[in-house]
Structure 1
Amino acid sequence: METLMIKPVGYVCNEFNDPADHHKIKGKPSTIIIHDDFLEALLNIKECDYLDVIFWFHKSEDYVLSGKIPSGGERGVFASRSPRRPNPIGITTVKLIECKKNKLIVEGIDAINNTPVIDIKCCDTSMFASEIESNPVHSSILKSDPRIEIRNNITEGKTEVLLLKAGQLHGHFCPGLAMGVMAAVHAMKEIRTDSDGMEDLLAITETNNCFSDGVQFVTGCSFGNNALIFKDVGKTAFTLTKRDGKGLRICSRHESREIIEKSFPDFQKYYQLVVVKQNHDPDLVAAYKRIALQRAFGTLSIPFNRLFTVSQVKAEIPRYAPIYESVICPV
């Protein structure tokens, strides 16, 4: 049988020198110290909130192919998390608390002091997400009611979940997108109806920036279903209305930008260095992205009334979108 060579990339440092209850070990912070040869591999690791750490059970006894598990049952070693394995390799998902040069402070690792670390990877949960999406019951519900999850999140005020989803449409996270989500959630709760793509609920946006994508996602009013109307006024505002024209206009206060900047004072410093002055030092870029993300999601925690004004309006409603015959263009 072929022998494989594995080179440790670092080691675990914590207070547990001997095997102990893994719950106790996981409950205490540990430090993973990376060897100097692999420092470059830590580039932008701060962008990963969770990591999969692969390590070597260096104090494991000879392996057994089956045995008792904590619940009292018996399983083969491949169906358990026993450290007594043919190849004593462990893998645990941890939360990254901090990165200082070659030191990763983590929570959740069940490895003892001086455990050799074989590899570290950004945590991948895509398989779990795809399983949920491919569940036949879940798919059946979405086919009959495609906006049910969005509508439930609106009702429950889950703006963070909605912002995460809106980011998939928008491509990045920013205060503008967050404000669009906040404004749209407020309006949808007041109007108490949902978009079915039939132009009975209309969103009239006065800007074409990030704000509008938050509005588009939450309300379900889009250019494609003819329910999003763009009026180039240049204001961070939109009106949500039914076809009777009785609408709700939500407009950002003129001081909203200042409120957001004061709430996240470090952002401007890194914005000037990375974006304006184009300093792309990896540590600066990583810090900028991290603070920008905090700023986007942190905007959701600012009281709605500090950022917006709300007024009842009578909106001018256009006719339903005309349907034209398809023709072949000579070009």
Structure 2
Amino acid sequence: MCMEKSDWEKCRDFHGHACPGLAIGYRAATMALAALASVRSADEELVAIVENDACGVDAVQVLAGCSLGKGNLIYRDYGKSVYTIGCRNSGKSVRIAVKNNLWPKDPAMVALREKINNGTANFAEREAFHRHQHDRIHYILEMPDEEFCELRHVNVELPAKASIFPSHTCAVCGEAVMEPRARVKDGQIVCIPCAEQYSRGW
């Protein structure tokens, strides 16, 4: 008999591996859903605004049901570990700002990560690194809420639900481009990449 996977296991499988960054997104998403008294968005009931493109965003997608394809995942390239989730039905939103330095820096682990990344770590070093990562994941998942982040209820104007627009053929490359993203160049409809082509002769 197959057992239902836990939410953490679903996030891990979607992301491809378990890591501290995924644990951060998992904590942020679960806390936001609890604060909103909400469940996973089947359609566009929830909207997530994420301020980074790191591992944790995958957990938000899995747990909150927000994705680029549905139009209810908004990415803002601020480089901040901040997640805002709003509910269209209730009109409520929460903003979760993850605190910096969730664990003390370990120079030995920084050096070990470098060896892992450049492929020079031996088996024992890789095992030590994985144990360290496991400990960090457990620490993040179990630490008190007030030590993990600042959670605030906020007023957010959520974007309109995703719309379907007509497409036009780019006069330069011949590919289809949705109407709101089309540009006009020399009196012709073009896509953004073709509109941005510019040359001064070299």
TM-score (norm 2): 0.72
CA contact (8 A) 1:184 1:214 kept: yes
1:268 counterpart (107, 110, 135): 110
2:128 corresponding residue in structure 1? 287
Task: State the distance in 1 between where 2:103 and 2:10 align.
Answer: 22
CA contact (8 A) 2:42 2:65 kept: yes
2:22 corresponding residue in structure 1? 177
Task: State the distance in 2 between where 1:261 and 1:173 align.
Answer: 20
Q: Please list every run of 5 or more consecutive structure 1 residues that lacks an aligned counterpart in the other structure.
A: 1-130, 134-148, 151-160
CA contact (8 A) 2:112 2:121 kept: no
User: What is the 5 A alignment of 1:152-301?
Assistant: 161-243=6-88, 245-254=91-100, 257=101, 259-261=102-104, 267-275=109-117, 278-301=119-142
The DSSP-based 3-state class of the residue aligned with 1:238 is: strand
**1:202 offset after TM fit, Å?**
0.9
Percentage of pairs with the same residue: 30
Task: State the distance in 2 between where 1:241 and 1:313 align.
Answer: 9
Task: Give aligned pairs, total.
Answer: 171
The DSSP-based 3-state class of the residue aligned with 1:234 is: coil
Q: Which protein, 1 or 2, shows the higher relative CO under an 8 Å CA cutoff with sep ≥ 6?
A: 2
Q: Please list every run of 5 or more consecutive structure 2 residues that lacks an aligned counterpart in the other structure.
A: 176-202
The DSSP-based 3-state class of the residue aligned with 1:260 is: coil
TM-score (norm 1): 0.46
CA contact (8 A) 2:140 2:148 kept: no
Q: For residue 96 of structure 2, what is the amino acid of its counterpart? A: I
Q: CA RMSD in A?
A: 2.8
Task: State the distance in 1 between where 2:64 and 2:136 align.
Answer: 23
Deviation track 1:24-67 (CA, whole Å, cap 9, x = no partner) reads: xxxxxxxxxxxxxxxxxxxxxxxxxxxxxxxxxxxxxxxxxxxx
